[in-house]
């Protein structure tokens, strides 16, 4: 009751005075609090405005779907067109997914060098998860201890130079088999991409598991596997509505998840069969060894199976990781390599004087009475320049594999929120007239005696065929050897020309790997002095 008006009126004076003081300080406090709250509120508004304002510029798109309906199928070209309007860093919304596209060397450097540990993360698509046993591989797993462990095993133990030297004979045998096959078809037009793919897959499976996949490979395995991988690369590169609207994912409206899972099942069947056969072969070898007879074969698969059995968590891998690693090698290593071979051969058929110079170099270094060996490769400087120039114009992964920041960050003065998909448009950088003289012309000479020392390591951000930083291509040492060895062998062993009446064209088919739209076909004729050089 103290607070009734009449009650207050009855209070003695001194109490009133004290009360007035209190009221004053209460009012002050109230004002202070109000100011703080308003200030805080204004700061929050300003901050949120700042974040919104500091996102990169970009096209508006439509409500809900964003820019999705306008992208078309050739993402690399669409992204390059947009960078002419919005500059070298811009954003676009695909459904509710924020994508940021970068197309200048200095911005790429900020991502793959200055802030590499933040941007080395991935945000795998539904298709990528489906085909990598739940994102258990190297290419699509999150940046963290498991990725680090897998990458270390892959790069240092499996693809280290001593390990690659040790299995050179297996690669060499497969290249020689291909050369011999082509020699049996002299005068017949050959699908170059198919030839390169079957050479690469045979070399890789031979290194992985020796003859263990022979059963699977009898019925034209190479061609079937190539068809499967080509389809997969398109599925992996295609914008998928389910990725942009997770609530629609269960409808799988474009059928991408269903098709990818079918491919994953097909691959799983082959890998499981190889694993079973290897385990049986090991068991037999142990039994025979017990009887004092035989040594076990040590290939990549055996090495990985041993890791699976390792008790030390820091070294051991799960069955899913083992299979996903095999997929990385078989899929990541074949289509990229054969696509690169096809583009190089196409450019050389388009520029016969370049092909002639490459062959003269081969004659000088290898000799017409000899076959190419990997040991010749370091001396083939002009061929290296031709390969680099081709991969400048036709980088097999034109947008790399999208990166994803694990925390919000600032690039080029703009905020890049955590979880955005980052596309590094290497295709645009490789054709930028600010960086390259006459960028659309095929001039291998620009890579001869180049002062910038442009190599495949990604240390110079104007040339990024294999990516750069922590996520640079994990298969680079093998890729470089196989690509050069296959090309040098094809070009040293045969003259190549377009079949009569055919025309060369350079149309592209976009997927995560950028391929030639129509397969390159060329007719071989022998070049070497002795037909014995074509036999096994």
**CA-based nearest residue to 56, from 97, 120, 101, 109:** 101
Of 123, 205, 337, 421, the one binding ligand HEM (CB under 6 A) is 337
Q: Is 429 in the site for ligand HEM (CB under 6 A)?
A: no
Site string for ligand HEM, 351-390 (x = CB under 6 A): ----------------------------------------
Helix (H, G, I), strand (E, B) or coil at 497: strand
Binding to ligand HEM by residue 396, rule CB under 6 A? Answer: yes
Pick the closer one to ligand HEM by CB: 115 or 336.
336
Residue 461 binds to ligand HEM (criterion: CB under 6 A): no
d(CA 307, CA 297): 16
Under the binding rule (CB under 6 A), the answer on residue 401 touching ligand HEM is yes
For residues 195 and 483, which CB has a smaller minimum distance to ligand HEM in the complex? 483
Question: Near ligand HEM by CB under 6 A, which window of 21-29, 296-304, 473-481, 489-497?
Answer: 473-481
Measure Cα distances from 131 to 6, 161, 202, 269, 330 in Å. Answer: 81, 29, 21, 13, 12
Instruction: Give whichever of 416 and 479 is closer to ligand HEM, judged by the CB atom.
Output: 479
240: buried, middle or exposed (CB in 10 Å: 19+, 13-18, 0-12)? buried
Which one, 158 or 533, has the nearer CB to ligand HEM?
Answer: 158
- Nearest Cα to Cα of residue 371 among 130, 176, 157: 176
User: What is the smallest separation between the CB atom of 61 and ligand HEM, expressed in angstroms?
Assistant: 26
x/- map, 136-155, ligand HEM, by CB under 6 A = --xx-----------x----
Residue appearing with tokens 């497969």: 174
Task: Pick the binder of ligand HEM from 98, 108, 377, 400 (CB under 6 A).
Answer: 400
Write down the least CB distance from residue 174 to ligand HEM, Å. Answer: 14
Buried b / exposed e over 181-209, threshold 16 CB at 10 Å, is ebbeeeeeebbbbbbbbbbbbbbbbbbbb
Instruction: Select 163 or 254, whichever has its Cβ closest to ligand HEM.
Output: 163
Check if the beta carbon of residue 278 is closer than 8 Å to that of residue 212: yes
Q: Kindly state whether residue 409 participates in binding ligand HEM, applying the rule CB under 6 A.
A: no
Measured in degrees and rounded to the nearest 5, phi and psi for residue 424 equal -100, 110
Task: Round to whole Å and give the CA distance between 416 and 123.
Answer: 15
Q: Is 393 in the site for ligand HEM (CB under 6 A)?
A: no
* Residues that bind ligand HEM in the complex, under the rule CB under 6 A: 138-139, 151, 328-329, 332-333, 336-337, 340, 396-397, 400-401, 465-467, 471-475, 478-479, 483
């Amino acid at each position: 009751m103290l607070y009734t008006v009449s009650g207050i009126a009855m209070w003695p004076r001194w109490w009133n005075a004290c009360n007035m003081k209190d009221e004053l300080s209460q009012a002050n406090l109230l004002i202070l609090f109000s100011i703080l709250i308003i200030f805080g509120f204004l700061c929050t508004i300003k901050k949120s405005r700042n974040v919104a304002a500091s996102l990169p510029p970009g096209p508006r798109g439509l409500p809900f779907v964003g820019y999705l309906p306008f992208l078309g199928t050739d993402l690399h070209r669409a992204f390059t067109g947009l960078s002419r309007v919005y500059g070298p860093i811009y954003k676009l919304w695909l459904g509710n997914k924020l994508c940021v596209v970068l197309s200048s060397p200095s911005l790429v450097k900020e991502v793959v060098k200055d802030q590499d540990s933040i941007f080395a993360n991935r945000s795998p698509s539904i298709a990528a998860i489906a085909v990598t046993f739940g994102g258990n591989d190297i290419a699509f797993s999150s940046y963290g201890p498991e990725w680090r462990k897998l990458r270390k095993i892959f790069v240092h133990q499996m693809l280290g130079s001593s390990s690659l030297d040790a299995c050179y004979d297996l690669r060499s045998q497969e290249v020689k088999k291909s050369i011999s096959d082509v020699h049996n078809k002299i005068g017949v037009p050959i699908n170059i991409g198919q030839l390169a793919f079957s050479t690469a897959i045979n070399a890789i499976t031979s290194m992985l598991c020796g003859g263990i996949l022979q059963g699977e490979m009898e019925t034209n395995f190479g061609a079937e596997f190539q068809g499967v991988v080509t389809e997969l690369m398109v599925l992996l590169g295609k914008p998928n509505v389910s990725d942009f609207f997770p609530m629609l994912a269960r409808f799988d409206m474009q059928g991408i998840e269903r098709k990818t899972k079918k491919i994953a099942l097909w691959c799983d069947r082959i890998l499981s069969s190889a694993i079973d056969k290897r385990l049986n072969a090991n068991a037999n070898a142990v039994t025979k060894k017990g009887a004092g007879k035989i040594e076990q074969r040590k290939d990549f698969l055996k090495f990985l199976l041993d890791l699976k059995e390792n008790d030390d968590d820091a070294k051991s891998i799960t069955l899913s990781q083992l299979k996903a690693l095999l997929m990385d090698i078989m899929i990541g290593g074949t289509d990229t390599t054969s696509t690169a071979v096809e583009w190089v051969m196409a450019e050389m058929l388009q520029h016969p004087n370049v092909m002639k110079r490459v062959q003269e170099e081969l004659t000088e270094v290898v000799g017409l009475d000899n076959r190419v060996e990997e040991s010749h490769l370091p001396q083939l400087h002009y061929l290296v320049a031709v390969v680099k120039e081709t991969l400048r114009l036709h980088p097999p992964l034109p947008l790399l594999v999208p990166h994803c920041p694990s925390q919000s960050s600032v690039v080029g003065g703009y905020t890049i929120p955590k979880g955005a998909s980052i596309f590094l448009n290497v295709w645009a950088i490789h054709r930028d007239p600010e960086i390259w003289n006459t960028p659309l012309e095929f001039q291998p000479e620009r890579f001869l005696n180049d002062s910038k020392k442009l190599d495949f390591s990604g240390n110079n951000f104007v040339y990024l065929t294999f990516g750069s930083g922590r996520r640079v291509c994990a298969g680079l040492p093998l890729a470089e050897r196989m690509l050069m060895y296959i090309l040098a062998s094809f070009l040293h062993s045969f003259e190549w020309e377009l079949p009569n009446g055919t025309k060369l064209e350079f149309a592209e088919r976009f997927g995560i790997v950028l391929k030639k739209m129509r397969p390159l076909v060329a007719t071989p004729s022998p070049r070497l002095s002795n037909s014995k050089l074509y036999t096994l």
